[in-house]
Amino acid sequence: MEQTLAEKILARAAGKKKVSPGELINAKIDMALGNDLTAPVAIKEFEKIGVGEVFDRRRLALIPDHFVPNKDIQSAALAGQLRRFARRYGIEHYYEVGRMGIEHALLPELGLALPGEVIIGADSHTCTYGALGAFATGVGSTDLAAVMATGELWFKVPPTIRIVFEGELPPWVGGKDLILYTIGRLGVDGALYAALEFCGPVIEKLGLDARLTICNMAIEAGAKAGLIAPDETTFDYLENRARRPYAALYGDAGAPVEQEYTWDVSTLEPQVSFPSSPANARPVSAAAGTAIDQVVIGSCTNGRLEDLRQAAALLKGRRVNPRVRLIVIPATQAIYLQALQEGLLETFIEAQASVSTPTCGPCLGGHMGILDAGETAVATTNRNFVGRMGHRESRVYLAGPAVAAASAVAGEIVHPADLQEVN
């Protein structure tokens, strides 16, 4: 019987020839991760289990990225728990402030997320790694504790929903626009516990940064995982980067899927998700003229190098509107350094933006950009729920880096092409 990519990966991890949607399996985990917000609970539960060692100190990553650099005593205590645990158990992949990055940008960059693998993380956006052809999904902290002790976890095999993108992408339309459009079409529960598989000629032409953005937000449609089959783009990215051997897997051409959608995106506008749901996605023209107070360019969704390059291209020779605060956050130290070497940080600073060390900070309303009552922000982050970035009476519009940068200059939401015409 033909199987999808998700089913092939889970079958391998379960030691089976095949698996079917709805089947309960026990799978070996190739990589597990936790951060300063979720791992402390997992550590507490792990200690209760009473085993003497973690299942594999090379296959567990602990990354303080949510409330770092520590914003208060409580966040310092959380980060301290990770640090002490990593030292006690010799965790190979613990990354301290100054050597770290936002987890879902850092692990691919370090070659720790690979095709054909099953990866779990105590963070809902772990689905990011599906862009490399892995089955990656977020779990609770207690599940992470169980994996830390045993290296295994049970799953219900999800059905697959296939999304085929056809046509040619218009200018200023990228991975963020494709996933916002998808979520807008499916709704927040349209792919509930499904594996969202993205394919088609548009996907094949995208670079890894854009693919990671797409899979990052699969969870916002309720998906268990988001996947893109590996190809030469994937293998080129992993060359001299992969930390361990891997075997790419591919779904069978005739494998049954729960649903399949084919969308021609040749005339797609840049997308903006209105408050207060990622599924409230509309063309940027529908939001044009909306006054804003803050713009955030960064996060595990859009803090990669291609995102910063796109934003800098629009900000070059311009300044942020006096009524607007622009916060730019490179997702990892390596991205920060490359952006520095390319002159992107100089462009941001000359435009009067604030440039931050890598952190999730403002995305979850943790620090580095909390919104006051009545304020409106455009953010390249992944969620815009009520109160997500600060006060419950604030509003967040989600967009890609091009719309975000153009809006920072205009002081209101604009299409990037309109900004170019004005200037």
Which residues have a Cβ under 8 Å from the Cβ of 313 and sit 6 or more positions away?
Answer: none
Same fold, 5-262 and 271-422: yes
Could you tell me the CA-to-CA distances from 324 to 118, 246, 296, 363, 366 in Å, in that order?
Answer: 42, 46, 11, 18, 20
Strand partners, 24: 156
What DSSP string runs through 282-336?
Answer: EEGGGTTT-B-SEEEE-HHHH-SHHHHHHHHHHHTT----TT-EEEE--SBHHHH
Cis status, amide bond into 69, omega within 30 of 0: yes
> What token pair was written down for 298?
């960064």
**Which helix (H) or strand (E) is 395 found in, with range?**
strand 395-398
Per-residue CA distances from 245 to 32, 105, 114, 116 (Å): 17, 20, 9, 11
Q: Are 78 and 51 in contact (CB under 8 A)?
A: no
Dihedrals phi, psi of 295, to nearest 5 degrees: -130, 135
- Residue 22, number of CB atoms within 10 A of its CB: 10
Residue 103, burial from CB neighbour count under 10 angstroms (0-12, 13-18, 19+) = buried
Q: Count the neighbouring beta carbons within 10 Å of the beta carbon of residue 348.
A: 25
**Tokens 């942020």 identify what position?**
320
Using only C-alpha atoms, what is the Rg of the chain? 21
Helix (H, G, I), strand (E, B) or coil at 83: helix
CB atoms within 10 A of CB 193: 16
Domain boundaries, given as residue ranges, for the chain: 5-262, 271-422
User: Is 419:196 a contact under the CB 8 Å cutoff?
Assistant: no
The terminus-to-terminus CA distance of the chain in angstroms comes to 58
**Dist CA 376 CA 372 (whole Å):** 9
Sign (positive or negative) of CA dihedral 9, 11, 17, 21: negative
Pick 5-262's CATH classification: 3.30.499.10, 3.40.50.2300, 3.40.50.300, 3.40.50.620: 3.30.499.10
Residue with tokens 């955030």: 296
DSSP code of 196? Answer: E
Tens of each residue's pLDDT in the chain, 423 residues: 899 999 999 999 999 999 999 999 999 999 999 999 999 999 999 999 999 999 999 999 999 999 999 999 999 999 999 999 999 999 999 999 999 999 999 999 999 999 999 999 999 999 999 999 999 999 999 999 999 999 999 999 999 999 999 999 999 999 999 999 999 999 999 999 999 999 999 999 999 999 999 999 999 999 999 999 999 999 999 999 999 999 999 999 999 999 999 999 999 999 999 999 999 999 999 999 999 999 999 999 999 999 999 999 999 999 999 999 999 999 999 999 999 999 999 999 999 999 999 999 999 999 999 999 999 999 999 999 999 999 999 999 999 999 999 999 999 999 999 986 655
Report the alpha-carbon distance of residue 277 to residue 151 in Å, rounded. Answer: 35
Residue type, 333: Q
Global pTM exceeds 0.85: yes
Measured in degrees and rounded to the nearest 5, phi and psi for residue 48 equal: -70, -30
**Other Cβ atoms closer than 10 A to 35:** 26
Give the closest residue to 112 by CA, choosing from 90, 136, 79.
136
CATH number of 271-422: 3.30.499.10
